Chains A and B, each alone.
Chain A
Amino acid sequence: MNALVKADGLGKTFTTKPTTAKRLHLSSLARTSRTADPFWALRNVSFEVARGEMMGIVGANGAGKSTLLRLLGGIGRPTTGTLEMNGRIGALLELGGGFQGDLTGRENAILAAVVAGLLKSEALELLPEIIRFAELENFIDAPVRTYSTGMTMRLAFAVAVHTEPEIMLVDEFLAVGDLAFQAKCNARIAKLREAGCAIVLVSHGMDQIREQCDRALWLRRGEVVACDTAKAVATYYEQEMREESLRRTPETLPLSTASGTPALRKENRFGSMEMEISGVTLRPGPKLTCGAPLAVEIQFQCPATLDSPIFALSITRPDGMICLDTNTRSARIPIPPLHGDGFIQLTIERLDLAAGAYFINVGVFDSNWSHAYDFHWHMYQIFMEGGSAHKGILAPPNQWTMKLA
């Protein structure tokens, strides 16, 4: 079994560049920044990806994931080490980035397919299938500038998967279209893999890594932390993220939130406190009847601007069993860069939980889940009353009917 991608001791440096004027000696002060230390964006990275294998790449922002993907795509040369790519490379890096707004979907699709390596005749032959896959039959002759983001991405994805690459480089794509389209994309990717295509996927979603990848490579500041089965790497990574949140929790954490719930540092409250959850209000209140609606309002204070944080909420039983887990990223709620005070509310239309005590856990996380800003665990309790079930979690409205023949 020969590997399609073979990286051995890859390293890439970027020198902190003097300005052009300095480089061309237009300025007499040119000499000062000459000896700046090179910055190692990647250092001694080795791995292989076999035919039909899917390799995930994980790591925080700036860990070198994009640099690695670029090197694999033959864009830029590695400073050290060797790289072997044995096959035609396809890339899903910037979906729709190369599209020209004034050209029609059809013209753009042909252009993108030829740029990706197909002959024009092959592109024309594949076009009907691409259009069908992108579900754009009625809009294909309209200029792409009139497309929604989703339509553009669908077209770009459809072109990329139909060019039949032998090695595919993917930068977090699965936010394409609705669930049905995502399922179609996954099916298509599975088919590519069966045909022997090696896939390298950069992702922040550990669930995606676990479900889709065979192996994963974890980068931190340009160096490999782990390269193992996807499950193992995802678990290490999540564990490290929890530890990172713990480590960043300041010693002088406020002892209670603004609403007066006691908080014990590193026991039920974690986070770097760059942004603080100052209070949580439950409406109508902590005592609920089964099937009643519940609104959870999370008040926050954000002293410095933070880029698109993620809010998360879960409901757990005292034994830790998770009954509900949702966040603004998976719900695709766009969160603008935040600054100052505000609140965000989750409304649950009906909470059909079985009678008993539960905890509402709330948290706000860095935009790529690398650590928590503030996370409140088992601090807010609710009590469900009524409901017919004695055991189990769910208590939806139900009725028995019986008919005797």
Chain B
Amino acid sequence: MSTKPSHQNSQERAWKHAADLFSVLVSRDLKILYKRSSLGFGWALVTPLLQLFIFSFVFRRALRMEVHNYPSFVFIGVLVFGWLQGALSQCGGIITSSKSLVTQPGFPLTLLPHVMVSVRLFHFLIALPILFGLLWCQGIRPAWPWFSIPGLLVVQYLLIVGMAYPLASLNVIFRDTQHIVGVSLQLIMFVTPVFYSLDQVPEQMHPWFYLNPMVGLIQSWRDVLLDGNWPNPVTLLTLSVVGITLLIIGRRTFVAQSHCFVEEL
């Protein structure tokens, strides 16, 4: 407390502090998840691998699903949907389970959804090498359009955080949200082409499917990784607009409600 920092400096410091806070919270959550398990981060891979195994066995061998490169096809779907599912099924509890942070003076609550979505992003990223290995085994080689992967990640991040904000604030006043979200995600997975292809769905149903942002997103990932094409810019642009709109509205309602969170805890 020697000299008062100038306005410019304090602004800079606030950003730096938010970044530091974000990184310590993400690393805290990751450490807590895996610290005492002997498999450690390996657990982040178990679920997608198991799903990959089940889907490729059941659908290819038993149901004779006719999709080219089916294992990597299904693995992309499982990973991309898994990030959404992992994040949204947890976002309900982020306020109620971080009471000690919420009651800390000056703690930026708006950081919590970002922390949680980033923890799931981390899981997604450590599974990516396995996906690349699988693609390589199936004879698919990296192509220039793969450079759009960071863009896809950004769009998906915006979408998930945009959905996480309203769900998190809703769960504080209506605790059943968390359970409803969990059940709905299970259902949504079946109306999202995770383990089947949109081509197998009757043409007249397609507009309905495209109302689900995950459909376009998974499609884009498959275009890039399986076919080596650049993703459809219209799809990506639409998804970004949806994501940013959700994020702005969601964040607004979250901030407007945040002063009541404490009273509900």
Stretch at the interface among B12-20, B85-93, B247-255: B12-20
Residues of B within 8 A of A20 (CB): 173-176
Within 8 A of A (CB), among B1-59: 1, 13, 16-17, 20-21, 23-25, 28, 31-32, 35-36
Cα of A102 to Cα of B176 in the assembled complex, Å: 29
Determine whether the beta carbon of B21 is less than 8 Å from that of A115.
yes
Most buried by A among B31, B105, B106, B176: B105
Determine whether the beta carbon of A119 is less than 8 Å from that of B1.
no
Determine whether the beta carbon of A107 is less than 8 Å from that of B31.
yes
User: Nearest chain-A residue to B259 (Cβ)?
Assistant: A77
CB distance from A102 to the nearest CB of B (A): 5
Determine whether the beta carbon of A119 is less than 8 Å from that of B105.
no
Within 8 A of A (CB), among B97-136: 99-107
Residues of B within 8 A of A169 (CB): 105
Residues of A within 8 A of B105 (CB): 72-75, 89-91, 169
Most buried by A among B104, B106, B174: B104
- With A103-B35, A115-B104, A169-B105 as given contacts, are A120 and B23 in contact (CB-CB < 8 Å)? yes
Residues of A within 8 A of B263 (CB): 14, 76
User: Nearest chain-A residue to B20 (Cβ)?
Assistant: A120
Determine whether the beta carbon of B106 is less than 8 Å from that of A117.
yes
Determine whether the beta carbon of A75 is less than 8 Å from that of B262.
yes
CB distance from B114 to the nearest CB of A (A): 15
Is A221 at the interface (CB under 8 A from chain B)? no
Is A70 at the interface (CB under 8 A from chain B)? yes
Residue of A14, A94, A164, A196 touching B103 (CB-CB under 8 A): A94
Determine whether the beta carbon of A100 is less than 8 Å from that of B28.
yes
Is A335 at the interface (CB under 8 A from chain B)? no
Residues of B within 8 A of A89 (CB): 105-106
Determine whether the beta carbon of B28 is less than 8 Å from that of A98.
no
Determine whether the beta carbon of A114 is less than 8 Å from that of B21.
yes
Cα of A237 to Cα of B15 in the assembled complex, Å: 46
Cα of A115 to Cα of B104 in the assembled complex, Å: 8
- With A23-B173, A110-B24, A114-B24 as given contacts, are A196 and B104 in contact (CB-CB < 8 Å)? no
Determine whether the beta carbon of B1 is less than 8 Å from that of A76.
no
Cα of A386 to Cα of B17 in the assembled complex, Å: 71
CB distance from B11 to the nearest CB of A (A): 14
Within 8 A of A (CB), among B69-102: 99-102
Is A166 at the interface (CB under 8 A from chain B)? yes
Residue of A76, A88, A111, A196 touching B24 (CB-CB under 8 A): A111
User: Nearest chain-B residue to A164 (Cβ)?
Assistant: B1
Is A397 at the interface (CB under 8 A from chain B)? no
CB distance from A404 to the nearest CB of B (A): 62
Residues of A within 8 A of B13 (CB): 119
Is A24 at the interface (CB under 8 A from chain B)? yes
Interface string of B206-236 (1 = CB under 8 A from A): 0000000000000000000000000000000
Within 8 A of B (CB), among A13-34: 14, 20, 23-24
Cα of A103 to Cα of B32 in the assembled complex, Å: 7
Is A93 at the interface (CB under 8 A from chain B)? yes
Cα of A89 to Cα of B103 in the assembled complex, Å: 12
Residues of A within 8 A of B17 (CB): 114, 117-119
Residues of A within 8 A of B259 (CB): 76-77
Is A260 at the interface (CB under 8 A from chain B)? no
Residue of A24, A72, A97, A110 touching B100 (CB-CB under 8 A): A97
Cα of A72 to Cα of B31 in the assembled complex, Å: 33
Within 8 A of B (CB), among A50-108: 70, 72-77, 88-91, 93-94, 97-98, 100, 102-103, 107
User: Nearest chain-B residue to A169 (Cβ)?
Assistant: B105
User: Nearest chain-A residue to B98 (Cβ)?
Assistant: A98
Residues of B within 8 A of A110 (CB): 24
CB distance from A111 to the nearest CB of B (A): 5
CB distance from B256 to the nearest CB of A (A): 11
Is A195 at the interface (CB under 8 A from chain B)? yes
Cα of A70 to Cα of B173 in the assembled complex, Å: 20
Is A296 at the interface (CB under 8 A from chain B)? no
Residue of A23, A74, A107, A164 touching B28 (CB-CB under 8 A): A107
CB distance from B258 to the nearest CB of A (A): 10
Interface string of B175-208 (1 = CB under 8 A from A): 1100000000000000000000000000000000
CB distance from B224 to the nearest CB of A (A): 36
Residues of A within 8 A of B103 (CB): 70, 73, 75, 93-94
CB distance from A48 to the nearest CB of B (A): 18
Residue of B24, B32, B36, B104 touching A120 (CB-CB under 8 A): B24
Is A116 at the interface (CB under 8 A from chain B)? yes
Interface string of A358-375 (1 = CB under 8 A from B): 000000000000000000
Cα of A111 to Cα of B102 in the assembled complex, Å: 14
Cα of A24 to Cα of B180 in the assembled complex, Å: 15
Determine whether the beta carbon of B16 is less than 8 Å from that of A119.
yes
CB distance from B5 to the nearest CB of A (A): 11
Determine whether the beta carbon of B36 is less than 8 Å from that of A102.
yes
Supply 20 A–B pairs (Cβ within 8 Å), ascending by A: A20-B173, A70-B103, A73-B104, A74-B106, A76-B262, A91-B104, A97-B100, A98-B101, A100-B32, A102-B35, A102-B36, A103-B31, A107-B28, A107-B31, A111-B25, A114-B20, A119-B13, A119-B16, A119-B20, A169-B105
Chain A residues within 8 Å of B, Cβ to Cβ: 14, 20, 23-24, 70, 72-77, 88-91, 93-94, 97-98, 100, 102-103, 107, 110-111, 114-120, 164, 166, 169, 195-196
Further pairs besides A91-B105, A93-B103, A107-B28: 14, Cβ < 8 Å: A70-B103, A72-B105, A73-B106, A75-B102, A90-B105, A94-B103, A97-B99, A97-B100, A98-B101, A102-B31, A114-B20, A115-B101, A115-B104, A120-B24
